[in-house]
Amino acid sequence: MKRNEEDVYYGDYLQLDKLLDAQHPVSGTAGRAAAHDEMLFVVVHQVYELWFKQILHELRSVVCLMARERIEERSLGTINARCARIRKIQKLLVDQIDVMETMTPLDFMDFRDYLVPASGFQSVQFKEIEILLGLKGEYRIDFDKACFYSRLTEGHREYLQGMESGPSLFELLDRWLGRMPFLDYEQYAFWDEYRGAVDAMLARDRGIITGNTGMTGGEREAELAELEKTRERFDTLLDEGRYEAARGRGEVRLSHRAMLAAVFIHLYRDEPILHGPFGLLMNALEIDELLTTWRARHAIMVQRMIGHKIGTGGSSGHGYLMRTTENNRVFLDLYNLPTFLIRRSDLPALPDEVKRGLGFYFGGGEGDV
């Protein structure tokens, strides 16, 4: 390996002088008693911000690759690898809450009042991650929307609002799914075949319910009513007009074409050409799940630290954070998608022409999606 002109020194390369000189607890200054646990509070937050930085590094590159007109299989591999790295980091972020929880509420009270009005609300990198994933202003709950204006500096607000006009992972995933080539074949109406398989499945389920002698009449009625709701969900999926109306009501977020493509990828994910696309759907789903898990863990930790007190940023604290946990789901459609899956053995067999179109046969050079 080629040596550098000048020797590199560990601490210089990592700029440790700067990094390790950035922990300045405010207790212990201005005549206040030093609170031992404030150092932990500062270090844990800083470590989070460093990991946010790395997540953003990966996420920006994923968004950049996804924004291309055509995504080659090789790029899809890179995208999936970077998403996998994000997931690993997110796991650390969830686990790190354990370290924070070694501090007790009384220890926290020794310095908490000095922090007002600073708050996690003001973590610009956290908001950047949310926006890049697809949580833009219109999807935020009211208090969160208001904080965008009242709790951030003008510079940060303008920066984040500027980001909102750029593409997010959600939008790019929607666009990419929407241009998948396999939905229109002149000779083969896949969704008609699928509808037939769904009807057969629902008829079978109805037979199981009506033939179950262990249920009371009321229980049977209730199960049949649920089955009817499942049929209606399929009707909505397979009718663009109904689907778009549901989208208008905010019940689904993916476009109709994108949703059909996502269902198709799930159904035929055993086909080699769909391994990469299926991996990407799983990555989006798991990134959402890990962020939601972090939100829930953070909210519970907050309850343990401050009970029902309001946050230093002025929210209701635990209550507000639980609402964001419930509300701020970017890829919720991917969670609801299994509603539309049918058993492998009931799947319509794809004609050779369709398989060829999909690039299931190697050497066709049609593997790009």
Residues in contact with ligand HEM, counted by CB under 6 A, come to a total of 24
Closest of 11, 12, 22 to residue 50, by C-alpha:
22
Question: Shortest Cβ distance from residue 137 to ligand HEM (Å)?
Answer: 13
Among 144, 174, 286, 333, binds ligand HEM (CB under 6 A): 144
- State which of positions 157-196 bind ligand HEM (CB under 6 A): none
Q: How far is CA 42 from CA 100, 192, 233, 300, in A?
A: 10, 59, 49, 20
Q: Is 293 in the site for ligand HEM (CB under 6 A)?
A: no
- State which of positions 101-140 bind ligand HEM (CB under 6 A): 108, 119-121, 123, 126
Q: Is 94 in the site for ligand HEM (CB under 6 A)?
A: no
Q: Is 44 in the site for ligand HEM (CB under 6 A)?
A: yes
Residue closer to ligand HEM (CB basis): 279 or 313: 313
Question: Shortest Cβ distance from residue 261 to ligand HEM (Å)?
Answer: 31
Cβ contacts of 104 within 8 Å, gap of 6 or more: none
Stretch that binds ligand HEM, among 23-31, 194-202, 259-267, 303-311 (CB under 6 A): 303-311
Separation between Cα atoms, residue 64 and residue 79, nearest integer Å: 10
Stretch that binds ligand HEM, among 19-27, 278-286, 301-309, 339-347 (CB under 6 A): 301-309
Separation between Cα atoms, residue 332 and residue 319, nearest integer Å: 21
Burial 339-349 (b: 16+ CB within 10 A, else e): ebebeeeeebe
Separation between Cα atoms, residue 82 and residue 354, nearest integer Å: 31
Q: Which tokens go with 98?
A: 């354990």
Q: Which residues would be at the binding site for ligand HEM (CB under 6 A)?
A: 44-45, 48, 100, 108, 119-121, 123, 126, 144, 298, 302, 305-306, 311-315, 317, 320-321, 324
